[in-house]
Amino acid sequence: MVEPLRTATDISPATLERSIAAVRPEALYAERIDLLQVNLGRRCNSSCTHCHQSCSPSCTEAMDEPTLDAVSRIAREVRPALVDITGGSPELHPGLPALVSRLRSADLRTQVRTNLTALLEPEAEGVIDHLAGAGVQLLASLPALTAEGYACQRGDRLQTALSVLERLNDAGWARSDNLRLDLSVDSSGYGADCSECELTARYRAALTDDLGIHFNDLVLITTMPIGRFRAALERRGEYEAYLSGLAERFNPATVAGLSCRTAIEIAWDGTLSDCDFNLAAGLRTAEGEPAHISEFDTERLARRRIRFAPHCWACTAGAGSG
How near is the Cβ of 42 to ligand SF4 at its closest, in Å? 8
Task: Order the strands of the 35-39 sheet from edge to edge.
Answer: 218-221, 181-186, 137-141, 110-114, 82-86, 35-39, 263-266, 272-273
Element (H, E) at 114: strand 110-114
270 binds ligand SF4 (CB under 6 A): no
Instruction: Select from 15, 37, 39, 53 the one that contacts ligand SF4 (CB under 6 A).
Output: 53
**Of 221, 273, 241, nearest to 51 (Cα)?**
221
Instruction: Select from 47, 169, 262, 298 the one that contacts ligand SF4 (CB under 6 A).
Output: 47
How near is the Cβ of 91 to ligand SF4 at its closest, in Å? 11
Query: For residues 74 and 301, is the Cβ–Cβ distance under 8 A?
Result: no
Q: Which stretch binds ligand SF4 (CB under 6 A): 22-30, 44-52, 239-247, 291-299?
A: 44-52
Q: Which residue's CB is nearer to ligand SF4, number 173 or number 250?
A: 250
Reduced 3-state DSSP string for 117-184: HHHHCHHHCCHHHHHHHHCCEEEEECCCCCHHHHHHHHCCCHHHHHHHHHHHHHHCCCCCCCCCEEEE
Query: For residues 90 and 138, is the Cβ–Cβ distance under 8 A?
Result: no
Q: Which residue's CB is nearer to ligand SF4, number 54 or number 244?
A: 54
In the chain, which ranges are continuous DSSP H helix?
Answer: 13-23, 65-78, 96-105, 127-134, 147-154, 158-171, 196-203, 210-211, 227-235, 239-248, 276-280, 298-301
Q: What mask of x and - would describe binding to ligand SF4 in positions 218 to 257, judged by CB under 6 A?
A: ----------------------------------------
19 binds ligand SF4 (CB under 6 A): no
315 binds ligand SF4 (CB under 6 A): yes
Instruction: Select from 85, 139, 264, 306 the one that contacts ligand SF4 (CB under 6 A).
Output: 306
**Of 107, 161, 114, 113, nearest to 135 (Cα)?**
107
278 binds ligand SF4 (CB under 6 A): yes
Q: What mask of x and - would describe binding to ligand SF4 in positions 87 to 116, judged by CB under 6 A?
A: xxx-------------------------x-
301 binds ligand SF4 (CB under 6 A): no
Q: Which residue's CB is nearer to ligand SF4, number 40 or number 71?
A: 40
How near is the Cβ of 176 to ligand SF4 at its closest, in Å? 26
Instruction: Using CB under 6 A, count the residues that bind ligand SF4.
Output: 25
Query: For residues 98 and 145, is the Cβ–Cβ distance under 8 A?
Result: no
**Of 290, 306, 286, nearest to 298 (Cα)?**
290
Q: List residues binding ligand SF4 (CB under 6 A).
A: 44, 46-48, 51, 53, 55, 87-89, 115, 141, 258-260, 274-275, 277-278, 306, 308, 311-312, 315, 322
